[in-house]
Amino acid sequence: MEILRAIKERRSVRKYGDSPVEREKLDLCLEAARLAPSACNIRPYRFIILEGAARDEFAENAFSGLYSVTRFAAKAPALAVLVSSKTSLTGFLGRQVQGVNFKLVDIGIAGEHFVLQARELGLGTCWIGWFDKKKAKKALKLGSGEDPELVISVGYPDETPPERKRKKTTEISEYRNNL
């Protein structure tokens, strides 16, 4: 599949079939994420893949109460939790000088590589930022300096979400020859 086709066809899937995701496919998604660019090649993150009982326990904690609207993710065969690690001095200085948290930019790029590879493999995904981070951190037994930033649900789609209206290219870009 060409990359633009994968991008066009990727949707946020919220209904999954019962079939487990093959480890080989998850490994390919992780390889795609590993190849993502990262500021100063620091890669201030790691992926924790949750399946079975680990997924259930995590979901029970992370998607409860105020966060129950994202409970659909508990039915996905796998959850990929993107965990950030302490920022390096370079990352810290970049945030102070530029006002950009490059750690989160790096996580976004790696996550997007993951979901595009998943699409290429016929898998559905959904980015989830709405979850109880305190309970998620405790459930994952993360140390200080590590935080769960995003969850990506992964599985075989049991729905075909509609295409969303997008702005035209001309609405989000411009070419300049002079300043």
Report domain extents, the chain. Answer: 10-156
| Per-residue model confidence (pLDDT) at position 89 | 61
Residue 132: pLDDT band (50, 70, 90) is: very high
Residue 149: pLDDT band (50, 70, 90) is: very high
Q: What is the Cα–Cα distance from 90 to 80, expressed in whole angstroms?
A: 27
Place of tokens 């995904």: 125
| Per-residue model confidence (pLDDT) at position 94 | 64
Is pLDDT above 90 for 73?
yes
Mean of the per-residue pLDDT values of the chain: 92
Task: State which amino acid sits at residue 29.
Answer: C
Question: Does the domain made of 10-156 have the CATH classification 3.40.109.10?
Answer: yes
Instruction: Find the Cα–Cα–Cα–Cα dihedral 149, 162, 35, 143, rounded to 10°.
Output: 20
The whole model's pTM is what? 0.91
